[in-house]
Every structure is written in structure tokens, then in C-alpha cells.
Amino acid sequence: MACWVDSAPANIALIKYMGKEEGNMPVNISLSYTIERFSTTVELDDAAEYDYLEDDLGLTREQRDRFLVHLRYIKSRMDFGGYFRVRSSNNFPHGAGIASSASSFAALTKVACKAIADIESRPMLSSRELSEIARHGSGSAARSLFGPWCIFDRGEARSVEFPYTIIHELILIDGARKKISSSEAHKLVRSSLLFSNRVERAHVRCQRLIDSLTSQNWHDAYQICWGEFWDMHALFETSTPHFGYIGGNTMHVLRRLEEFWLQHKDGPIVTLDAGPNIHLLWRDDDLRKLFRASASDLTFI
């Protein structure tokens, strides 16, 4: 029996995509860092009569259906009539508070397109084409086809490079499944008064971030990313109904990171996804060890 396996990494947005149109078309530009060490692997085998999923991710019924709907979408795009058994697993722990939708939809897209190309002796699609298809599963999945950094603008993702070697760390505050999914968040934020010029704000910040990373102005990059995650979380907190992810524990650690920056005039880029956990991007130097030494009470992943 033929079998195909492929994987794709997670990514964390520094300029966030929030608000989308039909086909997961983002309303604004985003810029992400690809987290190579966190990936999803998807395995496909031929199946006789229907597609089915054996997942190792502890997905809800709704999430499983969404995965199979995306497989159907890929097959219809490729005009393919066969069926697959799908197996999916992450190399990052369950309950780590890391959304796996980007890596899982990107991995499913890669492996299904590869399997169909093999079966039908067709040429493999380009990363650009795969990314466009992955976007229909989850907007942020479009970025997981490119690294080490990715710009995603008007539905098209592409790689960018900046002169940094990055070490990514996650401070785990809460690993529970979030109550409001990002799909719901994309809809709810439109009710916030702050949404009216969100697209412009994201655009201006993105350009500034590109300039500061290119010119190695790390401090400016940190400031821009700090403002940006608060912008997204302010949209959440000013929506009707309002919702949010930042509680006392997250806030406490954010203040410690601010103090670290004040004391050392240096530190990591800090960002939050739609969740309470804190992503840190460090330059590859000794500062990271200094922070770690003062933070033995925190859980790093």
C-alpha cells in the first residue's frame, strides 16, 4: 500500500493577521517567524471508500471535520477522485498552548498534493501554489510554507531574510484549549471601534518592523512588536461581546520582561498569539541565559 509523509512547521506572527474575508483572505498584511522546531507530520495512505482521520492531536469533532473538509478542498482543486486515511501528529506537547492549525493545515496540503501528484504522475506544485491552497484550511498556514521569516500580503506569502539568528522560546502560562477560537476572533473583532483603521496600523507597523530588522535596530523591533500584540489584544477586549486571554499571570511576566529590558537596555522581542502564552525571540547571545537564571519559576518550552 502506498504511503506519503510530510511535515510543516508552526509560525508566530509579529504583525498579526486579524479579520478575514471569504477563503481566509486576510484583511491586513502580516509578518511571521517560522518555528522550525515545532512541527506537524501528516501521513496519508490509500483508502477504499472514504477519507478518514486518525489523529494524535486530541482534536475536537469540529476540528477533525475541518481537517477533512480541507482534504476534500485539496482533492477538488486537484480534480482527484480517490480517498485517503490521514494520520497526524505534532512534535510539540499537547497542552503547550501552541496552536497547531498553521503547521497541520500546511502539512496536510503538502502531503496531499504530493500524493496526488505521484498517483497521477503530475508535476509537484510550487511552494507558492501550496501556500495558496493551505490558506483555505487556515490563513496562517499559508505562512508555514516559507521561512525563516514570512510576509503574507493580499493572500500571497513569501520568504524574507533578516540578518539575525533567532532562538525562539515559549513561556507557558496556560496550556488549556482556548475558549474563543481564532476563527471566532476574526469575526468578533469587526465589532470593535478600533477595527476601523486596523488595516492601516498593521501596514505601518509592518513597514517599520521590516526597516528596523533590516537595519538591525533590535530595540525598535521590540517596541513595534510590543505595540502590535497589544493592538490585537485591545481589539479583543473592545469587541462586542468582549473577550480576552491576558490575565494576571501573563501580565506579571510581561512586566518582568519590561523590567529586564529597562535594566539591560536589551532583551527579546516579545509577542502573544490569541492566547495567554508568551513567545520570546532572542538574538543568539548570552542575554537569554541571564533571563533564564532569574526566571526559574517559569515554564519554558
- Interface residues with ligand PMV (CB under 6 A) are 13, 16-17, 24, 30, 101, 138-140, 182-183, 273-274
CB of 101 to ligand PMV, least distance (A): 5
Cβ proximity to ligand PMV: between 138 and 239 the closer is 138
Cβ proximity to ligand PMV: between 80 and 136 the closer is 136
CB of 58 to ligand PMV, least distance (A): 17
- Under 8 Å CB-to-CB from 301, ≥6 apart: which residues? 92, 93, 96, 98, 169, 170, 171, 172
Q: Where are the beta strands (DSSP E) in the chain?
A: 3-15, 20-21, 25-26, 30-47, 52-55, 83-90, 149-153, 156-160, 166-172, 269-272, 278-283, 299-300
Cβ proximity to ligand PMV: between 116 and 132 the closer is 132
CB of 125 to ligand PMV, least distance (A): 20
Cβ proximity to ligand PMV: between 213 and 274 the closer is 274
CB of 95 to ligand PMV, least distance (A): 18
CB of 183 to ligand PMV, least distance (A): 6
- Under 8 Å CB-to-CB from 64, ≥6 apart: which residues? 53, 55
- Under 8 Å CB-to-CB from 161, ≥6 apart: which residues? 148, 149
Closest of 234, 233, 298 to residue 260, by C-alpha: 298
Cβ proximity to ligand PMV: between 45 and 55 the closer is 55
